Amino acid sequence: MGEAALLACDWGTTNLRAWTLDKRGEVVAHKAFDLGVSRLEPGEAGERFQAEVQPALQAVGLPAILCGMVGSNLGWTVAPYADCPAGLPELAACLAAVEAHAAWVRIVPGVRCEGLAGAPDVMRGEETQILGWISQHPDRARGRHVVCHPGTHAKWVLVEDGRIVRFVTAMTGELFAVLTHHSVLKSEAPADDVAAFDEGLAAAGEGEALAARLFTARARVVGAGKAAETTPSYLSGLLIGAEVAAVPKLIGLSGRESVTLLGEPGLCARYRRALDARGVASETFDGEVAALAGLYSLYRSGARR
How many degrees, rounded to 5, is the angle at CA 285 between CA 137 and CA 144?
55
Q: Return the percentage of the chain with pLDDT > 90, whole number.
A: 97
Average confidence (pLDDT) over 267-271? 98
Rounded Cα distance between 28 and 22, Å, is 6
For the domain made up of 126-305, the CATH class stated in words is: alpha beta
Say whether 70 sits in a helix, a strand or coil. helix
Q: What is the CA radius of gyration of the chain?
A: 20
* Nearest by Cα to 252 from 125, 172, 123, 144: 144
Beta strand extents in 36-119 (DSSP E only)? 64-67, 82-83, 96-97, 105-107, 111-114
Average confidence (pLDDT) over 108-118? 95
The confidence score (pLDDT) of residue 2 equals 84
Rounded Cα distance between 81 and 104, Å, is 20
The residues pairing with 112 across neighbouring beta strands, listed in sequence order, are 83, 122
- Which CATH number does the domain 1-124 belong to among 3.30.420.300, 3.40.50.720, 3.40.50.920, 3.90.1150.10? 3.30.420.300
pLDDT, tens digit, 9 for 90 and up, residues 133-168 = 999 999 999 999 999 999 999 999 999 999 999 999
Q: Is the pLDDT of residue 260 over 70?
A: yes
pLDDT, tens digit, 9 for 90 and up, residues 65-110 = 999 999 999 999 999 999 999 999 999 999 999 999 999 999 999 9
The confidence score (pLDDT) of residue 304 equals 74
Rounded Cα distance between 263 and 259, Å, is 13
The confidence score (pLDDT) of residue 157 equals 98
Rounded Cα distance between 219 and 2, Å, is 59
How many degrees, rounded to 5, is the angle at CA 86 between CA 81 and CA 92?
75
The CATH 3.30.420.310 portion of the chain extends over 126-305
Q: Is the pLDDT of residue 29 over 90?
A: yes
Q: Give alpha helix (H) positions in the chain.
A: 44-48, 54-56, 88-93, 126-135, 172-182, 194-203, 210-214, 216-222, 231-246, 265-277, 287-303
The confidence score (pLDDT) of residue 303 equals 80
The CATH 3.30.420.300 portion of the chain extends over 1-124
Average confidence (pLDDT) over 253-271? 97
Rounded Cα distance between 220 and 169, Å, is 29
Rounded Cα distance between 61 and 217, Å, is 54
The confidence score (pLDDT) of residue 305 equals 66
Rounded Cα distance between 99 and 131, Å, is 25
pLDDT, tens digit, 9 for 90 and up, residues 35-64 = 999 999 999 999 999 999 999 999 999 999
Question: What type of residue is 172?
Answer: T
Residues in the chain: 305
Question: What type of residue is 103?
Answer: A
What average pLDDT is seen over the chain? 96
Say whether 142 sits in a helix, a strand or coil. coil
Pairing of strands 16-21, 27-33: antiparallel
Rounded Cα distance between 147 and 157, Å, is 5
pTM, to two decimals: 0.95
* Nearest by Cα to 85 from 141, 166, 168, 147: 166
